[in-house]
Amino acid sequence: MGTVAAQGLSKSFGKVQALDGVTLDVPDGSFFVVLGPSGAGKTTTLRAIAGLEKLDAGSVHLDGRDATGDAPADRDLAMVFQNYALYPRHTAYENIASPLRARRRPPSEIAEAVDRISGLLHIERLLQRRPAQLSGGEMQRVALARALVRSPRAFLMDEPLTNLDLKLRVEMRTELTRIHRSLGATFVYVTNDQVEALSMADQVAVLKEGKVQQVGTPAEVYERPANQWVAGFVGSPPISLLACRAEGDRLIGADGWSLPRPGWTTAEDGRPLLLGLRSEDLSVEQRGNASLPGELYGIEPLGDRTVVDVRVGTEILKVKARPTISGTPGERLLVTVDLDRAHLFDASTGQSLSAATR
């Protein structure tokens, strides 16, 4: 068993409200990612669950039992810190053995557990080194091993891959997913990297300024963002947003363009709207069921694809295209839109106006 339930977590540091009623429900055995920009309260949420932060309000339940006032040691959790926090005077072996030593396990059991976990993470040859003699990636593995050496209720990970270079980060992503699957344990994973969230998570909670914006599977968060902010934060290149309003069976753009009104929106006529269009649902090569007139603004080749910036009125649309595409800035072109996959948001509240069933 390993469920983590946070209910209405609130915490302020002086005048800064770090957490403002954060509620999360982490099911047993899930890979639960808390996603948000820096300063959103992700780390504070994790530290509150771990018992390292005293809360102003709210409760933490572990396996259904109220653990709000418990000391970190009594919560039976393991945590990987963003800066690894390896004990500098201790060898990698001693670092990994520390959770078992703290719990007074017999030396033979400790040696066996450290052997097993260092085999799993391929760090056998590093065990006698001190943290100062390890590279960033090696320190990260040792920190991971220190958490994985026990079988706690849940694993808490605070941006464990942020300090690694890109290649290593991609490798470790796969490896963490593999470890999660083989252990079947509960992971609560904090990151500001949406790629990590989308690729690893069973469930994603999107956090902004201490408030949960949306909880759902990666597909739900990406396909049906609850509001304009989530739509803008998740996805790369970022979603393009065009000001418009609904009139009869048309969507009329603030810049004068017009598209058929999608059947799935609940927006009434005349209300100021934002039309959200993801780059892969747009095309400059005549696909899709509606089109916007614009002019070529810039071309951004990314290797496997090219992002074309198209100016529509005063706004820039990011359009995904073949890597071989070419053109000259200023050139007139038509952007076709897959309206079935577009999003509409209330321009003042930012809330999604897409019907839940579409």
Partner 1 sequence: MAVSVNEAVPASPVRDRTPPARRIGGGRGRSVLEIALLTVLAVVMLFPVLWMIETSIKENRDVYAVPAKFFDFEVTLAHYRDVFVAPGGGLSDLSVAFLNSLLVAGVSTVLATLLGVPAAWAYSRFTLKAKKDQLFFILSTRFMPPVVVVIPIFLMYRVVGLIDTPLGLILIYTAFNLPFTIWMVKGFVDEVPAEYEDAAMLDGYTRLQAFRKFTLPLLVPGIAATAVFALIFSWNEFVFAIFLTSSDSVRTAPPAIAGLIGGTTVDWGLVAASSVVFALPVLIFAYLVRRHLVAGVTLGAVRR
Among the listed residues 39, 58, 85, 307, the single contact to partner 1 using CB under 8 A: 85
Check residue 132 for interaction with partner 1 (CB under 8 A).
yes
Supply the minimum distance, in Å, between the C-beta of residue 183 and partner 1. Answer: 18
Of 17-25, 86-94, 111-119, 247-255: span binding partner 1 (CB under 8 A)? 86-94
Check residue 50 for interaction with partner 1 (CB under 8 A).
yes
Q: For residues 291 and 337, is the Cβ–Cβ distance under 8 A?
A: yes
Check residue 356 for interaction with partner 1 (CB under 8 A).
no
Supply the minimum distance, in Å, between the C-beta of residue 150 and partner 1. Answer: 9
Check residue 131 for interaction with partner 1 (CB under 8 A).
yes
CB atoms within 10 A of CB 252: 16
Q: How remote is the C-alpha of 267 from its chain's centroid?
A: 29
At 40, the amino acid letter reads A
Among the listed residues 12, 59, 68, 98, the single contact to partner 1 using CB under 8 A: 98
Q: Is 137 left (phi over 0), alpha (psi -120 to 50) or beta?
A: alpha
- For the chain, the straight-line distance linking the first and the last C-alpha, in angstroms and rounded, comes to 36
DSSP E strands, the chain: 4-13, 16-26, 31-35, 57-62, 65-66, 77-80, 154-158, 186-191, 203-208, 211-216, 240-247, 250-253, 258-260, 272-277, 282-283, 290-301, 306-312, 315-321, 332-337, 343-346
Q: Long-range contacts: 92-95, Cβ < 8 Å, 24+?
A: 92/123, 92/126, 92/127, 92/128, 92/129, 92/130, 92/131, 92/134, 92/142, 92/145, 93/127, 93/128, 95/131, 95/142, 95/143, 95/146
Q: Is 59 left (phi over 0), alpha (psi -120 to 50) or beta?
A: beta
How many angstroms separate the CA atoms of 339 and 344, rounded? 10
Supply the minimum distance, in Å, between the C-beta of residue 209 and partner 1. Answer: 21
Q: Which residue, 157 or 267, is less far from partner 1 as judged by CB?
A: 157
What part of residues 150-209 is at the interface with partner 1 (CB under 8 A)? Answer: 163
Supply the minimum distance, in Å, between the C-beta of residue 9 and partner 1. Answer: 17
Among the listed residues 136, 260, 263, 329, the single contact to partner 1 using CB under 8 A: 136
Residue 272 CB contacts under 8 Å (≥ 6 apart), including other chains: 243, 245, 346, 347, 348
Check residue 52 for interaction with partner 1 (CB under 8 A).
yes
Supply the minimum distance, in Å, between the C-beta of residue 105 and partner 1. Answer: 10
Among the listed residues 24, 86, 190, 239, the single contact to partner 1 using CB under 8 A: 86
Binding mask 1-40 for partner 1 (x = CB under 8 A): ----------------------------------------
Check residue 349 for interaction with partner 1 (CB under 8 A).
no
CB atoms within 10 A of CB 106: 9
Check residue 217 for interaction with partner 1 (CB under 8 A).
no
Of 74-82, 234-242, 295-303, 320-328: span binding partner 1 (CB under 8 A)? 74-82
Q: Which residue, 6 or 79, is less far from partner 1 as judged by CB?
A: 79
Among the listed residues 89, 184, 332, 356, the single contact to partner 1 using CB under 8 A: 89
Q: How remote is the C-alpha of 161 from its chain's centroid?
A: 13
Supply the minimum distance, in Å, between the C-beta of residue 90 and partner 1. Answer: 8
Check residue 51 for interaction with partner 1 (CB under 8 A).
yes
Q: For residues 58 and 136, is the Cβ–Cβ distance under 8 A?
A: no
Check residue 57 for interaction with partner 1 (CB under 8 A).
no
Of 75-83, 119-127, 256-264, 336-344: span binding partner 1 (CB under 8 A)? 75-83
* Residue ranges binding partner 1 (CB under 8 A): 47, 50-52, 71-73, 77-79, 81, 83-89, 98-99, 101-103, 130-132, 136, 139, 146, 163
